[in-house]
Chain A
């Protein structure tokens, strides 16, 4: 029943929307008291004080306490990992090849997964889905709006970053394939990049001598040419520095993810101008040793040092099956990052990191209408996300 209702609501695109809130946080500018936003045709048509924005004739009027841009999950396996946690619904990783850049998250993404619905109800409107940490060189990510439709219809970027992993995950999963030590893991990554350089050369040869097409190598070649970006998952300070080093050696456009100890090397990260997707904030103590120095204040320390910060929900192997960036970020907010910076991290900065800031991440005329109406402080435990709009369509209308 919920699926049917959501589908029906999702196709109510034709109706313009008029969203009014006691406070509208555009993020790109100052908050607007008693503000309003007009949405039509999937886009933001107007934003400003409600008093100066007339309600269009057939508009659906929605009202609340706080309006924000839709929230962006910087990196997640939601969509690739269903709630059952059995082999049938887990599509986040391969286990045979340490170097596997031919994988595309889009090919495994399940838009109807109930956990995506859960996140949708809490205001997560854009997801950056990709393989879980593990393979030293993994596959390519998929940036999508959080809506029930085919992957082609929801794609914002169907083939985005190449994912790399450092630290304990490759040791756990590919220890017998060259990643038993951090040395081996880094060597595997470097060799893969060198092989890609070599492949690029051999692809340029005349047909008789040309190397056969390798989908994975193609992606690495694009990465080396600056046409793609690299997402490196690393928690420990030395792993973060390894990522910075490899990126510099090969001229990679780098984004760091995880970064439990990022706060300990904040200056290095800032100096490198590399953005960071933090997660989990609420690290649990049974997890990998590499998160032992995590801190609720990590995001604040990085932001104070001038690093651009976003939040990610990552991969969860057990219960609960997915994290909620709104909840993770709230802890960071209350531990030094503060309201404005946290909201920016969840929206415009995350959009910038993912390369979609031209279309999402703030309430500006012409951008996608991804919006969330809350009944109170968005970060407060007992507040609710009461209306969620994705691409101009109301996808959730009950308070969560």
Chain B
């Protein structure tokens, strides 16, 4: 049984509360057991104590939008392809994952690309060590709503179908605007995009209703059954049943959208399906134009903060002030990399640039940690340094949002997964694509 670990003397940023000068964090196994000022925390006798004076400790960073893992995440089976799943294309040994750890990322939402109206299922990964992707993949236990690795679920139920497809281990990726237009079978206009997305979602709603009606019939007694609609349970369908999960709110929709009117179209589609549909808007480059509508709809935004605008028509009005502008009206903001559009190691930089654009630094740090946790529905177990939560944390050489600060260590689920002091790992923090694990 491993000893507990205590980090003593750093500035601790719990995110769920104000920073603690001269703080202590104690971890036992995979769980945080104490966080507080040095004077207030009792360090277990048998703990390994690290003196981290002069350093800062923050929760592990959560990247809500990434394409790491070395796989091709663009498929072309059709504009709406819900049966396609990112998990089947991720290589856990790919150096991009090591680079994400070097950047301080402990949880990441790996998504299909934006080239299709509905590109496929996303994959929620914990960047703990692992050999199979199932060791990293987090799936929701339907009873406890706790997220744990697919491997652990498979181990607990060896005769059940594999968790990676039998459980909800991510959401779905949708997109509108320029990217999903143009290819062979794709629509050529925003009208066509909205229509095909609307049709897919409403057809799924009807399918969900058929399934509910069939369930009601099955559960009813003979007499009650005579008064229920006579519906036949449809055959299971790998792809369609994913959409049923979406319209029931069991899977989050991660919707890539840049232009203001495209964002409003996404909100409208959600309205047409129902408030149970869980929606996160990604990029939101023109979010500042429709901030009130976003706030009213209670939809969070996941923004990648890029250095300059342009490159395509819908990003012409990108501005550094966007996160601040939407946050001001109460829109929950997360900051993402969209790796490789932005390198995973530079995710703190995005938060710093958002501060440059006017975002409150407290909200900026939250945008890397607790806000994405909330958007993903995993805030009960990670995203802040609180007793009872998972030991996902980073040790920094200085203040989290300074250009001069480096990630010194990354811990995921109580295991150190990156250490800058190890020369073999240090190259992941600065090197290019060619760097591979020793």
A binds B: yes
Q: Is the interface of A mostly helix, strand, loop or mixed?
A: loop
A47 to B431, CA, bound (A): 41
Q: Which of A74-112 contact B (CB under 8 A)?
A: 82-86
CB-based contact A115/B340 at 8 Å: no
With known contacts A282-B343, A285-B433, A295-B431, A381–B308 Cβ distance under 8 A:
no
CB-based contact B307/A84 at 8 Å: no
25 inter-chain pairs at a CB distance below 8 angstroms, sorted by A residue, are: A82-B310, A115-B310, A282-B346, A283-B433, A284-B340, A285-B433, A291-B433, A292-B433, A293-B433, A294-B433, A295-B430, A295-B431, A295-B432, A296-B430, A297-B430, A316-B311, A320-B306, A320-B307, A321-B311, A331-B349, A333-B403, A380-B404, A381-B403, A382-B352, A400-B320
A39 to B111, CA, bound (A): 53
Decide if B316 is an interface residue (CB 8 Å cutoff): yes
CB-based contact B340/A85 at 8 Å: no
Residues of chain B with a CB closer than 8 A to A331's CB:
346, 349, 403
Decide if A147 is an interface residue (CB 8 Å cutoff): no
Q: Which of B293-318 contact A (CB under 8 A)?
A: 306-313, 315-316, 318
Q: Which of A310-345 contact B (CB under 8 A)?
A: 316-324, 327, 330-331, 333-335
Decide if B53 is an interface residue (CB 8 Å cutoff): no
Residues of chain B with a CB closer than 8 A to A292's CB:
432-434
Residues of chain B with a CB closer than 8 A to A377's CB:
403
In the complex formed, the residue of A with least CB distance to B99 is A285
Q: Is the interface of B mostly helix, strand, loop or mixed?
A: loop
B residues with CB within 8 A of A:
96, 306-313, 315-316, 318, 320, 339-343, 346, 349, 352-353, 355-356, 361, 401-404, 406, 429-434
Residues of chain B with a CB closer than 8 A to A318's CB:
311-312
Contact of B311 among A320, A381, A383, A400 (CB under 8 A): A320
Taking A118-B309, A380-B402 as known contacts, 10 extra A-B pairs with beta carbons closer than 8 A to each other, sorted by chain A number, are A85-B312, A283-B432, A283-B433, A285-B340, A289-B433, A321-B309, A330-B403, A380-B352, A384-B356, A400-B320
With known contacts A295-B431, A316-B311, A320-B315, A334–B404 Cβ distance under 8 A:
yes
Decide if A260 is an interface residue (CB 8 Å cutoff): yes
A291 to B432, CA, bound (A): 7
In the complex formed, the residue of A with least CB distance to B320 is A400
Residues of chain A with a CB closer than 8 A to B431's CB:
293-296
CB-based contact B432/A319 at 8 Å: no
A324 to B356, CA, bound (A): 15
A294 to B432, CA, bound (A): 5
In the complex formed, the residue of B with least CB distance to A319 is B311
A224 to B354, CA, bound (A): 49
Q: Shortest Cβ distance from A113 into chain B, in angstroms?
A: 10
A114 to B404, CA, bound (A): 31
* Residue interface mask A240-268, B partner, CB < 8 A = 1: 00000000000000000000100000000
Residues of chain A with a CB closer than 8 A to B346's CB:
282, 331
CB-based contact A286/B340 at 8 Å: yes
Residues of chain B with a CB closer than 8 A to A83's CB:
309-311, 316
Q: Shortest Cβ distance from A200 into chain B, in angstroms?
A: 42
CB-based contact B308/A115 at 8 Å: yes
A297 to B429, CA, bound (A): 10
* Residue interface mask A362-400, B partner, CB < 8 A = 1: 000000000000000101111110000000000000001
Q: Shortest Cβ distance from A1 into chain B, in angstroms?
A: 15
CB-based contact A382/B361 at 8 Å: yes
Which of the listed residues B307, B308, B403 has the most CB atoms from chain A within 10 Å of its own CB?
B308
CB-based contact B312/A293 at 8 Å: no
Contact of A321 among B308, B341, B355, B361 (CB under 8 A): B308
Residues of chain A with a CB closer than 8 A to B310's CB:
82-85, 114-115, 319-322
CB-based contact A260/B340 at 8 Å: no
Residues of chain B with a CB closer than 8 A to A118's CB:
308-309
CB-based contact A334/B403 at 8 Å: yes
CB-based contact B355/A84 at 8 Å: no
Q: Shortest Cβ distance from A376 into chain B, in angstroms?
A: 10
Residues of chain B with a CB closer than 8 A to A380's CB:
352, 402-404
With known contacts A84-B316, A319-B341, A381–B96 Cβ distance under 8 A:
no
Contact of B313 among A84, A284, A286 (CB under 8 A): A84
Residues of chain B with a CB closer than 8 A to A323's CB:
307-308
In the complex formed, the residue of B with least CB distance to A119 is B308
A295 to B343, CA, bound (A): 12
A383 to B352, CA, bound (A): 9
In the complex formed, the residue of A with least CB distance to B355 is A382
Contact of A293 among B96, B318, B352, B434 (CB under 8 A): B434
With known contacts A294-B432, A321-B308, A381–B349 Cβ distance under 8 A:
yes
Q: Which of A17-55 contact B (CB under 8 A)?
A: none
In the complex formed, the residue of B with least CB distance to A291 is B432
A296 to B128, CA, bound (A): 25
CB-based contact B349/A284 at 8 Å: no
What 6 A-B pairs come out closest when comparing CB atoms? A381-B352, A83-B310, A321-B310, A319-B311, A294-B432, A292-B434
CB-based contact A335/B432 at 8 Å: no
Residues of chain B with a CB closer than 8 A to A297's CB:
430
Residues of chain A with a CB closer than 8 A to B308's CB:
115, 118-119, 320-324
Q: Shortest Cβ distance from A338 into chain B, in angstroms?
A: 10
Q: Shortest Cβ distance from B219 into chain A, in angstroms?
A: 51
Residues of chain B with a CB closer than 8 A to A334's CB:
403-404, 406
CB-based contact B341/A335 at 8 Å: no
Q: Shortest Cβ distance from A27 into chain B, in angstroms?
A: 20
Q: Shortest Cβ distance from A76 into chain B, in angstroms?
A: 12
In the complex formed, the residue of A with least CB distance to B318 is A320
CB-based contact A381/B306 at 8 Å: no
Q: Which of A214-253 contact B (CB under 8 A)?
A: none
Q: Shortest Cβ distance from A173 into chain B, in angstroms?
A: 19
Residues of chain B with a CB closer than 8 A to A296's CB:
429-431
CB-based contact B430/A335 at 8 Å: yes
Q: Shortest Cβ distance from A260 into chain B, in angstroms?
A: 7
Q: Shortest Cβ distance from A77 into chain B, in angstroms?
A: 12
Q: Shortest Cβ distance from A251 into chain B, in angstroms?
A: 33
